[in-house]
Amino acid sequence: MKPDRCDSKPHSSTGSQILRLEVRNFLPRVRSSLPSLTAAASPTMAGIKPECTLKIVKGEFGYVLEDVPHLTDYLPDLPTYSNPLQDNPAYSVVKQYFVDHDDTVPKKVVVQKESPRGIHFRRAGPRQRVYFESDDVLACIVTCGGLCPGLNTVIREIVCGLSYMYGVNHILGIEADILNSKEAYGGYRGFYARNTIQLSPKSVNDIHKRGGTILGTSRGGHDTSKIVDNIQDRGINQVYIIGGDGTQKGAAAIFEEIRRRCLKVSVVGIPKTIDNDIAIIDKSFGFDTAVEEAQRAINAAHVEAESGENGIGVVKLMGRYSGFIAMYATLASRDVDCCLIPESPFYLEGKGGLFEYIEKTLKENGHMVIVVAEGAGQDLIAESMKSMEHEDASGNKLLLDVGLWLSQRIKDYFARRQRMVINLKYIDPTYMIRAIPSNASDNVYCTLLAQSAVHGAMAGYTGFTVGLVNGRHTYIPFERVTEQGNKVIITDRMWARLLSSTNQPSFLSSKDVEEADSADDLQKLTVDKTESLGNGSPIENAI
């Protein structure tokens, strides 16, 4: 195939009279290098420039569709086939089973009479015509980044979806090459392994009952060219990539390289993060499971705290940059007296500080439970200890253990106040939470995400992430889910509900509140200390 055939030619699937199609090329804000990786280890980021194409479609009344790429954007003459689902007895009874090519989902559901219709995403689901014949499909699945409940369910459902809905029987798992572990540990680098694992509905039948990922996973850099060489050499034409923000950035680069080489290969991301810190989507799979499992740790902390004189139970939960697990686990439990998250800086000493609140609560109730997200209070720890700026293999900040630090500071404080004995127990259940299988509701959610991914790839869409937006499954351009993280907005009602349920101080002085011109200023005041400001998640804003 000659490269000139790849000249960008818009896919005309929208078909609507009122829509005007604009294809804009721009350099994305994908980080061009990972600080902890050498150029040799990550030519992805150092060498190939991941130039994304955002397809913007505009309509009347301020309607904007942020569309996703399609194979016909650069391979205009691809043949189409009728969707095998229409002959599937299970689905034949469904009225309007196929998604209309004009169906889109609004990013914002709360609108005012005069407000423009705003940004929309393409609705996920099966299309009448597909761009792959079942026998020609060779799909592969890879899992990257940290573990999260539900990974195996997504793998299972991609395999079953491809097989049962589309009759695809050639599916490879990109897995850890244990015998050759210097080269490949699973995750992106699993592509370098000589072996792959054949996946079939039979071989994945029970895997959703297990935690972790049957394919293995890794952090650290990868070589995009080497991966695409591998995809090309093996004849893979559908790539399903399950992973978090780092993984989706990697997927964007792989998609760009595939498009540059004019390959008929669909690249699909399924967003994974236990922290729920991916922008745009309502929530990430595994999050509900994590919140539910966190209850067991909180209950244990409560039992311990209630049983001793001035008992304090401290529970550390995951959340590197976002405190969603801590916030929802606190709201669900009702036994928590204080929840500390990265988005809401706190202070220990003096009026309105944490120590004062602990002392008051102990005097009133005789015990208390504190939940702390792992990313909370990092600035305070750095102040009191010599700051250590370390990163993991993927360039994520390595955090100091806030749970241990906080427990020690509380003990020191009460040791100084000789008349008050305390009994503090610290529980760190983080990896126990992350390693469990997904619960029932996450299993259903994972199934729908996987099926949406399969429908999208079969329909020829590529370079996108599947995601739930306002309760509807959608296809979202990679760029949109990677440009910023999702954070708890502490000026929203959800955080107010938490404050009113725990009765904890807001740790904002009245001066802060008065001086902030707007809710945005107030949020900025707090997030300045952490990372860049993220959008509120719809689950948070909508409730």
Residues assigned a catalytic role: 275
Nearest to 242 by CA among 77, 465, 447: 465
Spatial separation of the C-alpha atoms in residues 104 and 100, rounded to whole Å = 9
Q: In this structure, are residues 336 and 317 in contact, taking their beta carbons and an 8 Å threshold? A: no
**Which residues fall within 8 angstroms of residue 113, CB to CB, at 6 or more apart?**
none
Spatial separation of the C-alpha atoms in residues 459 and 52, rounded to whole Å = 20
Q: In this structure, are residues 495 and 485 in contact, taking their beta carbons and an 8 Å threshold? A: no
Q: Is 146 in the site for ligand FBP (CB under 6 A)?
A: yes
User: Which of 28, 34, 159, 230 forms a contact with ligand ADP (CB under 6 A)?
Assistant: 34
Residues binding ligand FBP: what is the number (CB under 6 A)? 12
- Cβ burial, residue 275 (10 Å; 0-12/13-18/19+): buried
3-state secondary structure of 65: strand
Q: Has 318 been labeled as part of a binding site?
A: yes
CB of 514 to ligand FBP, least distance (A): 35
CA atoms within a 13 Å half-sphere pointing along the CA-CB vector of 502: 28
Spatial separation of the C-alpha atoms in residues 50 and 92, rounded to whole Å = 41
Which amino acid is residue 388, in one-letter code?
M
CB of 29 to ligand ADP, least distance (A): 10
User: Which of 68, 318, 358, 436 forms a contact with ligand FBP (CB under 6 A)?
Assistant: 318
Q: In this structure, are residues 187 and 218 in contact, taking their beta carbons and an 8 Å threshold? A: yes
Q: Is 188 in the site for ligand ADP (CB under 6 A)?
A: yes
Nearer to ligand ADP, 478 or 507 (CB): 478
Nearer to ligand ADP, 10 or 220 (CB): 220
3-state secondary structure of 488: coil
Q: Has 434 been labeled as part of a binding site?
A: yes
CB of 151 to ligand ADP, least distance (A): 11
Residues binding Mg ion: what is the number (CB under 5 A)? 3
Q: Is 212 in the site for ligand ADP (CB under 6 A)?
A: no
Q: Has 104 been labeled as part of a binding site?
A: no
Q: Is 428 in the site for ligand FBP (CB under 6 A)?
A: no
Q: Is 258 in the site for ligand ADP (CB under 6 A)?
A: no
Binds 429, which of ligand FBP, Mg ion, ligand ADP, none (CB < 5 to 8 A, cut-off by type)? none
Q: In this structure, are residues 246 and 320 in contact, taking their beta carbons and an 8 Å threshold? A: no
Q: Is 187 in the site for ligand ADP (CB under 6 A)?
A: yes
Q: Is 275 in the site for ligand FBP (CB under 6 A)?
A: yes
Backbone angles phi, psi at 534, to 5 degrees: -105, 165
Binds 456, which of ligand ADP, ligand FBP, Mg ion, none (CB < 5 to 8 A, cut-off by type)? none
CB of 259 to ligand FBP, least distance (A): 26
Q: Tokens 């540059």 appear where? A: 260
Looking at 64-72, 268-276, 417-425, 470-478, which segment touches ligand FBP (CB under 6 A)? 268-276
Looking at 12-20, 140-148, 413-421, 433-441, which segment touches ligand ADP (CB under 6 A)? 140-148
Length, in residues, of the chain: 543
Q: Is 455 in the site for ligand ADP (CB under 6 A)?
A: no
DSSP letter assigned to residue 32: S
Spatial separation of the C-alpha atoms in residues 318 and 325, rounded to whole Å = 7
Q: Has 431 been labeled as part of a binding site?
A: yes
Nearer to ligand FBP, 218 or 474 (CB): 218
Q: Is 244 in the site for ligand FBP (CB under 6 A)?
A: yes
Helix (H) or strand (E) holding 474: strand 472-477
Spatial separation of the C-alpha atoms in residues 281 and 275, rounded to whole Å = 13
User: Which of 51, 306, 392, 401 forms a contact with ligand FBP (CB under 6 A)?
Assistant: 392
Q: In this structure, are residues 482 and 492 in contact, taking their beta carbons and an 8 Å threshold? A: no
Q: Has 474 been labeled as part of a binding site?
A: no
Burial 111-138 (b: 16+ CB within 10 A, else e): eeeeeebebbbbbbbbbeebbbebeebb
DSSP letter assigned to residue 485: B
Nearer to ligand FBP, 310 or 394 (CB): 394
Q: What dihedral angle (degrees, nearest 10) is formed by the CA atoms of 281, 285, 291, 297?
A: -140
Binds 249, which of ligand ADP, Mg ion, ligand FBP, none (CB < 5 to 8 A, cut-off by type)? ligand ADP
Looking at 54-62, 315-323, 445-453, 509-517, which segment touches ligand FBP (CB under 6 A)? 315-323
Looking at 6-14, 27-35, 115-123, 269-277, which segment touches ligand FBP (CB under 6 A)? 269-277
**What tokens does 226 get?**
């080497």
Helix (H) or strand (E) holding 384: helix 378-384
User: Which of 67, 157, 175, 245 forms a contact with Mg ion (CB under 5 A)?
Assistant: 245
Spatial separation of the C-alpha atoms in residues 309 and 305, rounded to whole Å = 8
Q: Is 243 in the site for ligand ADP (CB under 6 A)?
A: yes
Known binding residues for Mg(2+) are 245
Known binding residues for ATP are 146, 219-220, 244-247
Q: Under the rule (CB under 6 A), what is the footprint of ligand ADP?
A: 30-31, 34, 44-45, 144-146, 187-188, 218-222, 243-247, 249-250, 253, 273, 394, 396
Known binding residues for substrate are 273-275, 318-320, 374, 431-434
Q: Under the rule (CB under 6 A), what is the footprint of ligand FBP?
A: 145-146, 244, 273-275, 318-320, 374, 392, 434
